[in-house]
A and B are shown apart, each in its own frame.
Chain A
Amino acid sequence: MKVPFPLLEVEELRVSFFTPDLVVPAVEGVTFSIARGQTLALVGESGSGKSVTAYSILRLIQPPGRMTGGRILLRSARVGDIDIAKLEDDSDRLFEVRGGLISMIFQEPMTALSPVHTIGSQIAEAILLHRPIGKTVARELTLEMLDKVGIAPATRCYEQYPHELSGGMRQRVVIAMALVCRPELLIADEPTTALDVTIQAQILGLIKTLQREIGCSVLLITHDFGVVAQMADEVAVMQRGKIVERGEVRAVLKNPQHAYTRALLDALSSRRHPA
């Protein structure tokens, strides 16, 4: 799938886990690209390798896991082309990529939040890490961002700790933190899986709105074809470490070519329509 103006091109990505007695291949030659300003959904059942793929893009795979091959080309408008796969572990470039050019949000918002710091200080800190500005400006940007993600009053939330908020509100905070530096790519790993449908709808709406405003691309990881249909431009279906089908969302959902995609969609529709 070659897209016209790619922001990210992942080619032949391979990741394995080297446990004492066996090697577990988790991602086996995955290739996809994401166009500027567009959303690619990576969909598949649990264990298919979606999160490992996402973590690889930010070079967050920890031992015993290791990337064993592939290219992760970020065609940044700000700093030019970077092969993330080739960056040194502690390099400034990798630091700039993480949280500056690419941000990530997780299913469990506490993955990204510290329980012992106020929400405001954590978002302000994220800005100060990546932008040469003073504390007062960081505070203003933080309040503005909290307001944008629909937390009112922002001044109150600034002083609160994560445990004082509901799961849905925490996910809003995490979105604020991820987007405050205006990344070129947002990776969202099952951001609404743990939430009720009404909260999910609001969070998905928020991601859509802010994506349009910032102009970033989104890699949306989900196991729900409903979320794919409503959010994405393109979709890649993952099964056991491989992408088995990919294409434009409408084409894939209305006319799936691969047996696995059809099976997943059938399981979903058997739920919806009496046999």
Chain B
Amino acid sequence: MNEPGAIPAAAPLLSVRGLCKHFPVLSRGFRRPSSEWVKAVDNVNFDIAQGETLGLVGESGCGKTTTARCALRAIDPTAGEVFFRLPDGRVVDLARLSAGELKPVRRHVQMIFQDPVSSLNPRMTVRDIVGEPLVIHGLARGDELETRVAEVLARVGLKPEHRTRYPHAFSGGQRQRIGIARAIIMRPSLIVCDEATSALDVSVQAQVLDLLKELQREFRLTYLFVAHNLDVVRNFCDRVAVMRKGRIVELAPTPQIFAAPQHAYTRILLSAVPSPDPDVKMNFNVGEELAKLDAAE
């Protein structure tokens, strides 16, 4: 399947098979040649169809970010395959491409982080940040670069005069728009959103999610949406994968996950969410239920 070649339109855009990522356990800060490993990602499988949004939810440390980073080959997986369909129909295994083969593929997959700006050089203006991917890939410069940056900023709801400003002066929601602009300027087919709206107030979160939905329709985007907050994925994702301790315990269409969760862990997770309806009581007893689940495993 990782042979180049056209595949049927119904085939997934991304297909992850047997993905594993093990990190050596560090003791007292030294990397010993030990035989102990953290199985951060432990045999993960999922597909994402073109134009679909797949949610990946679970508690912190369960392996969501590592899964996403392996899937985009930001880090090398320990094992597994990541089949990705290029716009021309060829399918490549991202897990096996060489650095040289990866570079032209990278423009098709982009990532949006919780705070897309904080990790960047504070002396970069909004124009530098948003235009940088085009420059790195040698896709535009000069007037064309300026035009494309202006276009994409307008598209995410930022003003032309924002171009020359520095991002730390912006609100959380605006910073997220800058991150979105930087991602979509590449016209990717797949975007991984890693906790992209987790730090935002609910009303701002709703605006950013609306923008992501519009962009998805407009550019036929496919999203892998990573979040620890179940509430957020509820109305945004087509399907949801629930992750625990490096594994996907349940993957189902979103309505089914919320209305008829199959796995005990999904049920516990849902019961712990405080409902804004005072008549729907939350479960304060999740500690014991999780301990029971652990004991049963």
Contact = CB atoms under 8 A, between A and B. Distances in A.
Nearest to A44: B201
Interface in B126-158: none
Interface stretch (A4-12, A154-162, A181-189, A192-200): A192-200
Interface string A5-22: 000000000000000000
A229 interface: yes
Given A198-B268, A267-B206, A270-B206, A229 B275 contact: yes
A230 B278 contact: yes
Given A196-B60, A223-B201, A271-B234, A202 B284 contact: yes
Contact of A229 (B234, B274, B285, B287): B274
A46 B201 contact: yes
Interface in B157-216: 172, 201-203, 205-206, 209
Contact of A204 (B172, B234, B284): B284
Interface string A31-45: 000000000000001
B32 interface: no
A224 B231 CA distance: 11
Contact of B290 (A198, A224, A253, A272): A198
B283 A267 contact: no
B286 interface: yes
Given A45-B203, A264-B203, A227 B274 contact: yes
A198 B275 contact: no
B287 A150 contact: yes
B272 interface: yes
A268 interface: yes
Contacts of A226: 231, 273-276, 282
Interface in A213-272: 223-231, 249-250, 253-254, 263-265, 267-272
Contact of B272 (A200, A225, A254, A275): A200
Nearest to B276: A225
A205 interface: yes
A274 interface: yes
Contact of A230 (B172, B228, B275, B287): B275
Nearest to B202: A267
Interface residues of A, number: 38
Given A267-B202, A274-B235, A197 B230 contact: yes
Nearest to A232: B278
B3 interface: no
B41 interface: no
Contacts of B205: 267, 271
Given A223-B202, A267-B205, A229 B278 contact: yes
A224 B200 CA distance: 12
A246 to B, nearest CB: 16
Interface string B260-297: 00000000110011111110011111110010000000
B203 A198 contact: no
A208 interface: yes
Q: Is the interface of A mostly helix, strand, loop or mixed?
A: helix
B91 interface: no
Contacts of A78: none
Contacts of B287: 150, 198, 201-202
Contacts of B229: 197
Contacts of A270: 206, 235
A271 B202 contact: yes
A198 B59 contact: yes
B275 A197 contact: no
A224 B229 CA distance: 12
Interface in B49-105: 59-60
Given A229-B278, A264-B202, A267-B205, A201 B286 contact: yes
A205 B288 CA distance: 12
A228 B232 CA distance: 18
A42 to B, nearest CB: 15
A264 B205 CA distance: 11
B228 A272 contact: no
Contacts of B281: 230
Contact of A208 (B268, B276, B284): B284
A45 B234 contact: no
Nearest to A168: B287
A271 B276 CA distance: 12
Contacts of B273: 197, 226
Interface of A: 45-46, 150, 196-202, 204-205, 208, 223-231, 249-250, 253-254, 263-265, 267-275
14 contacts: A198-B268, A201-B284, A204-B284, A208-B284, A226-B273, A227-B274, A229-B277, A250-B278, A253-B276, A253-B277, A265-B276, A268-B276, A271-B206, A275-B235
Top 9 A-B pairs ranked by shortest CB distance?
A205-B284, A226-B274, A201-B272, A196-B59, A225-B276, A45-B201, A230-B274, A197-B272, A229-B278
Interface of B: 59-60, 172, 201-203, 205-206, 209, 228-232, 234-236, 268-269, 272-278, 281-287, 290
Given A200-B272, A249-B278, 13 more contacts: A197-B230, A198-B59, A198-B268, A204-B284, A226-B275, A230-B278, A230-B282, A231-B274, A253-B278, A254-B278, A264-B203, A270-B235, A271-B232
